[in-house]
Structure 1
Amino acid sequence: KDLNETTEQDLCPLKNRVDSSLPAPPAQEETLVPGPLPTPFKINGLEDHATPGSAPNGGTKIPGNWQIKIRPTAAIATGSARHKPPAQGLTCPGGCSCDQVLPGSGLKMNCNNRNVSSLADLKPKLPNVQELFLRDNKIHSIRKSHFVDYKNLILLDLGNNNIATVENNTFKNLLDLRWLYMDSNYLDTLSREKFAGLQNLEYLN
């Protein structure tokens, strides 16, 4: 047959016909890999499963009534690990208990309800006390000299005493103090001078 008389249909007979023996091209959503299913875990003794479905993008669809449940995180430290005895050789003031706030950190000195009438009575003076609890005692006044050996305090609890006198600049050297409790005392007036130096104070009660 003359090439000039040959039609396109004669040269490419399959162009306009579908060959049923060839597989159909995959749809767009079928080419995507579904995402992983949420991992089941036990809540109150029961295993919880997420139900998969078909998402428009081919990923995993989470039913509307399915809520994400978060495992509780482990405690930072147990009660027995939080408080360690003070370093060997340190003697806690009579009637008080002394522990480490955290391993390798300062001390927590608990003198609550120990019939203390003056901070000067707390002997021996321990280095690096960070938390000092003196609630429910008989302290009637506090002075700057009482805190010369407690420059590392971050918490001081003087609540429920008989404090009626606070010397000016009493807390001036307590630059790291963040929590100060002086509730249930006999303070009639307060002045700025009494709390001078508390540049990092976050809470005053």
Structure 2
Amino acid sequence: CDLLSLKEWLENIPKNALIGRVVCEAPTRLQGKDLNETTEQDLCPLKNRVDSSLPAPPAQEETLVPGPLPTPFKINGLEDHATPGSAPNGGTKIPGNWQIKIRPTAAIATGSARHKPPAHGLTCPGGCSCDQVLPGSGLKMNCNNRNVSSLADLKPKLPNVQELFLRDNKIHSIRKSHFVDYKNLILLDLGNNNIATVENNTFKNLLDLRWLYMDSNYLDTLSREKFAGL
């Protein structure tokens, strides 16, 4: 229903305005459909009830405090279920049908389990936790709230990292050279840092990047060159 105002605006802008297609990604019944081709009934089918065709969004928690776990997965043979809604404590909220492409892993373990060697046998950068997004697929690296001041400090460099979480750190700048080893990124969370400088073309070679979070930083101006390639 929140998209009704955007739909109305799109319908009333001049026909010669250079606006690209606005395509629905979720819920699944509207996936791939142009927003201006939808009706109010399409966008608000149940009004005050939950639309059952919209998957619950998984959440990457920014702290180790126990809370709702992301999308259904199995622990010790028993199936658990996610709690729909926003990510708790202001963590990263991943769009609703993300699990269709790559299902998220379970919440980060507490205590000493956080420092256990990851299942893939590689050494995770100090202070971070690493796991596979899916068996045989890329890695999820969680470095939230680890006092990281530069991406260059994340050593050793791991191959095929697809999700990189760096929220709540002390990063001041990001450069193209920082992502030479992260060309397979699909999700990058740089929220709530001290970023004031983004080198031009930093993200140009991140061809698979779909979700970029840079909220709560210190960027005064944005230019096309800073986000070229996205």
* TM-score after normalising by structure 1: 0.55
Instruction: Compute the displacement of 1:89 (Å).
Output: 3.6
Match of 2:140 in 1: 108
Q: Which has the higher helix share?
A: 2
Q: Partners in 1 of 2:34 and 2:144 — Cα distance?
A: 116
Question: Is the 8 Å Cα contact of residues 143 and 166 (structure 1) preserved in structure 2?
Answer: yes
Residue of structure 1 equivalent to 2:151? 119
Given that residues 102 and 134 in structure 2 are in contact (C-alpha distance below 8 angstroms), is that contact kept between their aligned partners in structure 1?
Answer: no
Report the alpha carbon displacement of residue 104 of structure 1 after superposing the two structures with TM. Answer: 1.4
Q: Does 1:75 align with 2:114?
A: no
Of stretches 22-31 and 79-88 in structure 1, the one that deviates more from structure 2 is 22-31
The total of aligned residue pairs comes to 197
Q: 1:103 to 1:139 in 2, by over 3 A?
A: same
> Structure 1: 5+ residue runs without aligned partners?
198-205
Pair 1:191–1:103, CA change in 2 (3 A) = same
Structure 2: stretches of 5+ with no match in the other structure: 1-32
Determine helix, strand or coil for the equivalent of 2:50. coil
> What is the percentage of aligned positions where both structures have the same residue?
99
Under a length normalisation based on structure 2, what TM-score does the superposition of the two structures give?
Answer: 0.49
Provide closer, same or farther for how the CA distance between residues 82 and 97 of structure 1 changes in structure 2, counting only shifts above 3 A: closer
RMSD (CA atoms): 26.1
User: Higher mean Cα deviation, 124-133 or 64-73?
Assistant: 64-73
Cα offset for 1:49? 28
Q: Is the 8 A contact 1:154 1:178 kept in 2?
A: yes
Deviations 1:138-196 (A, max 9, x none): 00000000000000000000000000000000001100000000000000100110011
Deviation of 1:131 after TM superposition, in Å, equals 0.1
Match of 2:119 among 82, 87, 96: 87
- Report which of the two structures shows the higher radius of gyration computed on alpha carbons: 1
The Cα shift of 1:77 comes to: 17
Tell whether the 8 Å contact from 2:192 to 2:214 is kept in structure 1 after alignment: yes
1:38 Cα deviation (Å)? 34
Aligned-residue offset at 1:103: 1.4
Structure 1 moving runs of 4+ over 2 Å: 1-89
